[in-house]
Structure 1
């Protein structure tokens, strides 16, 4: 294992932040896996999972079981980790730009299309190597103009040529769930089984340029662009990436982190990244994959004290009351506003705050029928 520090662009005199990566195996070995945690810096369960992954990866490397290469970045957002406002962490949006740390990554398919098109041939393996080479060259030439851009660039330099990418996040209060592009689902169904995911949200493309989708989207978007241009060349889905939501912000415990780290290790064994005498037995799915476009975000039409009648993990029917919003200042009897499910499915996440403003978010239900379009992710 090699620990490498990557300095970010300094935003001010006397200020320098560093990204730390742990590199296991031989650079260039396949399959290559990239795992990062806490890109939204206040989401800490993934950071603890990374802590428990390190000794497991150390042991696998020492025992000669590491077939491929693994890069682990336990704290993917040193910028957000340094941001606090009135004694509270604020690691989702950068203070300087108000941009979400997990949005606005560059469109690498568009960036390399012109150079890749004339170099595509009949051999899929060669085409994959060419696209990875061109993408790496484009990233190396990118001159970031800010600390935030330098973070995005460094994360992509580490991950752009990976076969598998796991971006570890969490929600506010939630059950374990994952997001992925449809093209990546076959690769990650074993992970969903091993982690006992209670919801899986799939989309062709979610919108907004999140980290994981820029990596996997490179391949299917480039393949589609080549086909549209009349180029008949095979280009497989050479990267599968996913965002794994490790329950809620308060679910930072050694027991759950060890469980999740072990599940990831077994996934790496199943994927052939770690050699093993027998492949891990896959448990049954704990849920059905559903379209992200079928996920309902619940909102309250009224302000007040938020009282949940359902909990993350509950299966709801249309019309079920998820929460009550109580206005204790109303004249006469206190006013109670009910927040009801408008789709059937698993309540996979809720807010942590117990006061909600009018129009405020309450929770999310994984519905099976698509009804939304456009950008499908929240702020």
Structure 2
């Protein structure tokens, strides 16, 4: 049995306070493949933390049975700072109240120090063995994360999470949306191998972008590989997709349910087995590659004015461009303003709060035709 638990105190807290992160480790340190899973980076998103506790129980049993062939690092509650943020009885776990920054943004982009270490030979020479190159770069990424010098508690948290994840072969960041169907985000390079996970989870869509903007955690783990391949990948020095990373959106904020969590945990266990991290037979499935769609093709239907939001379509509904999908009513005058879809596709998320301000996003549609050609692709 190798299950170990680390409790790490975050530095740079205010005097008289301290916050800790609890990290579960399964399998032999250094064994491959390595999987890293975390939940609650947006601390108000509870479904992932429930799934993570289901995973702790399953993985502890599998570890005791000797079925963890790789290494698994699991952080069931990744953001004690956000979990502690209450204002007038409301939990605010998405943004750091001290700095106003989204907790899932502004992660360090480590590709430049790694590229420099490869150029000057400090990281070691690349060679003809793709797997050896993967290990060399993973170590260089871990070294670059270790060299970060945080000045705030939130930055110390970002560094700690990167230190544990950036050298993984597989990274799952568990989130949820406001009201949503199951979906995930990843990069085009990572997508084909995540079709297995998306299908097992029952995703409505897989939203792909090489860079979504804002430096979210999943891309801090995966996109350095894209940039390093562009610089160093040759027939003599092949560089693989070294870290398959995804943000998994476990439906909506209110989908906090033991039955759903057990179902989702079982899907993740099946994917870990399929990846070879667990010595289990992975249930055979027929993957659905058609789930993939460009994140830049998402239609964000916004309110023309502030008011009460009335929806005319449900999650999962297929809509067509021009369709009347929502109405915003001015509660003072009763005046109604119509909102229309800008593309064809399924509705995958809706705003949970039925009062919206001018320009707020009401719902999102997974289209196929690119609508956004510049700027960030993620919401705040």
TM-score by length of 1: 0.95
Question: Structure 2 CA distance, aligned partners of 1:371 and 1:358?
Answer: 21
Q: Where does structure 1 lack aligned partners over 5 or more consecutive residues?
A: none
- CA-to-aligned-CA distance 1:248-292 (integer Å, 9 cap, x gap): 00000001000000000011111111112x431215539621100
Superposition pairs for residues 346-365 of structure 1, below 5 Å?
346-365=346-365
Structure 1 residue 312 corresponds to structure 2 residue 318: no
RMSD over aligned Cα atoms: 1.5
Match of 2:371 in 1: 371
- Secondary structure (helix, strand or coil) at the match of 2:101 reads coil
Structure 1 residue 193 corresponds to structure 2 residue 195: no
Match of 2:71 in 1: 69
Correspondent of 1:146 among 149, 152, 155: 152
Correspondent of 1:116 among 115, 118, 121: 118
- CA-to-aligned-CA distance 1:159-208 (integer Å, 9 cap, x gap): 11100000000000000000001111012110001000011100111111
Question: Structure 1 CA distance, aligned partners of 2:316 and 2:290?
Answer: 10
Match of 1:107 in 2: 109
Match of 2:92 in 1: 90
Question: Structure 2 CA distance, aligned partners of 1:23 and 1:273?
Answer: 13
Superposition pairs for residues 143-182 of structure 1, below 5 Å?
143-182=149-188
Q: Where does structure 2 lack aligned partners over 5 or more consecutive residues?
A: none
How much does 1:213 deviate?
0.5
Match of 2:306 in 1: 303
Q: Are the structure 2 counterparts of residues 244 and 198 from structure 1 closer, same or farther at C-alpha, using a change threshold of 3 Å? A: same
TM-score by length of 2: 0.95
Match of 1:52 in 2: 54
Which stretch of structure 1 is more off in the superposition, 88-97 or 279-288? 279-288
Q: Are the structure 2 counterparts of residues 232 and 99 from structure 1 closer, same or farther at C-alpha, using a change threshold of 3 Å? A: farther
- Secondary structure (helix, strand or coil) at the match of 2:117 reads helix
Which stretch of structure 1 is more off in the superposition, 285-294 or 345-354? 285-294
Which stretch of structure 1 is more off in the superposition, 254-263 or 218-227? 218-227
Correspondent of 2:270 among 266, 289, 292: 266
Question: Structure 1 CA distance, aligned partners of 2:289 and 2:238?
Answer: 35
